[in-house]
């Protein structure tokens, strides 16, 4: 691709050669990208941030690209998930300073993914290929590494670029290719805009085509009905108890907590389904079976309602689970399968057990539930269940489909106070509803509880940090979106297949002549 005179000037002005300005520009690009996500929702900044980074990478060495990618990731993760220090500080018994250090170290580790994208984006394409191949390659690499970040070592898929587009036209790609497909559309948009500024003549047509595909395709897909009604609407009530995390597990607060949730529930027996948050009952199920669970179960049956309760479930073998327990016509439990490292279980436990003893995190030694479809029968319908962090993994949520008529996520974001974690988590849940074409009922302890429509729209929500019962109607749905059928493998295969072209070109260039 020939570079225009104007493009050459842009490269010189916007991509300074000295290390400090380039480093500051990369860090600023990542930091500003945080504003593309909830609660700010300035989704165009996701394109702007990647545009700046791609511009820096065009004339970077592999080492420069790694450093600038890492700095972008440090800005994105450092500001975007800084809320993690709240739980480490308040409930980890380490003090504020060490909590901040641990959080920043985690952000620095996550930033390595972006550094790796930059290094590979410069290293793989042959030097003679020009900016066009570099720009396309970096988009495919970015998509692959976001998926990898959401899978490797238990995964941390937070702040994938696609989530920032839940309210933009690009969200139309979500039911087809999932959140990582939306990520690719964001990256292609940034690359195409940069290409249009740099290119001359017919080479601009490539970038016009990519822009048209990304935004035109998103527009045409928006509003597409992938699922249909399976029956009449059911009434639901979502109970938000707003119990402070530091008070929740104190033994003297158990009965007041049970009384609170019981009182709120008894006002809602008219609903077909009532949902409590994650570990709303701060006790093992066996300990409150006779005094609490069985009486509530009888009330639910008498009122022809189903009550879904968050509770810890102990099983023989000294194993306990983070569970959702359905009470009503039949009793059944879902045990959380994807646990949070260090928060719910300890990796390398024989070596690190002294660490968990020192941190003193409540209920931090859960066992994972067995693999399989995460289904419970609620109000006569099969429902896909996830607990807290599990809804960040789209491939795991769609394991409940096509049987699930709607989705339920029970969470407790009180660990993270009044921070960006709450709206960011809601944004993730909205993406899961859009990907699956199902209603998603989100019940949280301190907020934000919500009824999310199949198009990702928040149909109703409870205010954060208030006691509330959110009531509404939900239509059971059937059918499968393409993403629900294919999962992440469609977009991963596409990205990996596309990268074979520059890899093959590089191999042919480096192959010695015999």
Q: Which helix (H) or strand (E) holds 3?
A: none
Strand ranges in 242-361 using DSSP code E only, listed in sequence order: 273-275, 281-284, 306-315, 319-327, 332-335
DSSP annotation of 375: E
How many other β-carbons are positioned within 10 Å of the β-carbon of residue 441? 27
Euclidean distance between CA atoms 345 and 211, whole angstroms: 44
How many other β-carbons are positioned within 10 Å of the β-carbon of residue 22? 19
Q: Which of 146, 278, 297, 427 is catalytic?
A: 278
* Cα separations in angstroms, 132 against 196, 203, 205, 239, 337: 10, 9, 12, 53, 43
CA atoms within 13 A on the CB side of 253: 12
Euclidean distance between CA atoms 146 and 394, whole angstroms: 13
Pairing of strands 273-275, 234-240: parallel
Q: Which of 390, 433, 376, 384 is CA-nearest to residue 404?
A: 384
Q: Which of 336, 344, 396, 427 is catalytic?
A: 336
- Phi first, then psi, for residue 340 (nearest 5°) are -85, 120
Largest CA distance in the chain: 84
Q: Is 278 a catalytic residue?
A: yes
Q: Is 388 a catalytic residue?
A: yes
The residues with which 319 forms a beta bridge, in sequence order, are: 315
Q: Is 471 helix (H, G, I), strand (E, B) or coil?
A: strand
The residues with which 320 forms a beta bridge, in sequence order, are: 314
Strand ranges in 196-233 using DSSP code E only, listed in sequence order: 228-229
Spell out the residues 6+ positions from residue 177 whose beta carbon is closer than 8 angstroms to its own.
184, 482, 483, 490, 491
Q: Which of 146, 388, 396, 435 is catalytic?
A: 388
Residue 253 tokens read as 């607060």
Specify whether the CB–CB gap between 150 and 498 falls below 8 A: no
Catalytic residues, which ones? 278, 336, 388
């Amino acid at each position: 691709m020939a570079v225009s005179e104007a493009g050459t000037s842009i490269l010189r002005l916007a991509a300074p050669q000295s290390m400090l300005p380039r480093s500051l520009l990369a860090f600023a690009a990542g930091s500003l990208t945080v504003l593309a996500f909830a609660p700010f929702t300035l989704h165009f900044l996701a394109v702007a941030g990647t545009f700046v980074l791609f511009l820096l990478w065009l004339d970077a060495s592999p080492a420069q690209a790694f450093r600038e990618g890492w700095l972008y990731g440090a800005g994105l993760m450092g500001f975007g998930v800084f809320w993690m220090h709240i739980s480490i500080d308040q409930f980890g018994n380490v003090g504020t300073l060490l909590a901040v250090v641990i959080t920043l170290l985690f952000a620095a580790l996550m930033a390595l993914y972006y550094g790796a994208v930059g290094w590979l984006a410069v290293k793989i394409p042959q030097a003679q290929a020009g900016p066009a191949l570099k720009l396309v390659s970096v988009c495919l690499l970015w998509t692959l590494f976001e998926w990898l970040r959401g899978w490797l070592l238990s995964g941390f898929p937070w702040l994938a670029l696609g989530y920032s587009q839940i309210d933009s036209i690009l969200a139309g790609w979500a039911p087809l290719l999932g959140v990582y497909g939306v990520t690719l559309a964001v990256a292609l948009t940034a690359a195409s805009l940069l290409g249009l500024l740099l290119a001359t003549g017919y080479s601009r047509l490539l970038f016009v085509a990519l822009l048209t595909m990304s935004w035109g395709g998103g527009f045409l897909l928006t509003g597409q009905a992938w699922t249909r009604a399976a029956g009449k609407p059911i009434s639901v009530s979502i109970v938000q108890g707003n119990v402070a995390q530091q008070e929740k597990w104190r033994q003297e607060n158990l009965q007041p907590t049970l009384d609170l949730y019981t009182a709120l529930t008894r006002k809602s027996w008219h609903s077909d389904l009532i949902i409590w948050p994650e570990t709303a009952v701060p006790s093992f199920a066996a300990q409150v079976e006779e005094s609490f669970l069985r009486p509530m179960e009888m009330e639910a049956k008498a009122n022809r309602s189903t009550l879904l309760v968050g509770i810890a479930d102990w099983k023989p073998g000294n194993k306990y689970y983070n569970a959702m327990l359905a009470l009503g016509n039949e009793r059944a439990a879902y045990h959380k399968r994807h646990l949070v490292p260090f928060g719910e279980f300890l990796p390398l436990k024989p070596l690190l057990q002294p660490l968990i003893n020192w941190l003193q995190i409540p209920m931090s030694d859960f066992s994972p539930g067995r693999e399989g479809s995460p289904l419970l029968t609620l109000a006569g319908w099969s429902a896909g269940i996830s607990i807290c962090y599990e809804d960040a993994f789209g491939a795991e949520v769609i394991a409940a489909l096509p049987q699930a008529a709607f989705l339920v996520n029970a969470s407790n974001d009180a660990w993270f106070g009044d921070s960006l974690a709450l709206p960011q988590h809601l944004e993730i849940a909205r993406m899961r509803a859009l990907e699956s074409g199902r209603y998603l009922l989100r019940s949280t302890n301190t907020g934000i509880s919500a009824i999310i429509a199949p198009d990702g729209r928040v149909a109703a929500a409870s205010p954060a940090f208030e006691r509330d019962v959110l009531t509404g109607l939900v239509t059971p749905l059937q059918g499968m979106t393409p993403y629900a059928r294919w999962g992440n493998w469609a977009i991963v295969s596409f990205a990996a297949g596309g990268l074979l072209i520059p890899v093959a070109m590089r191999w042919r260039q480096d192959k010695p002549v015999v």
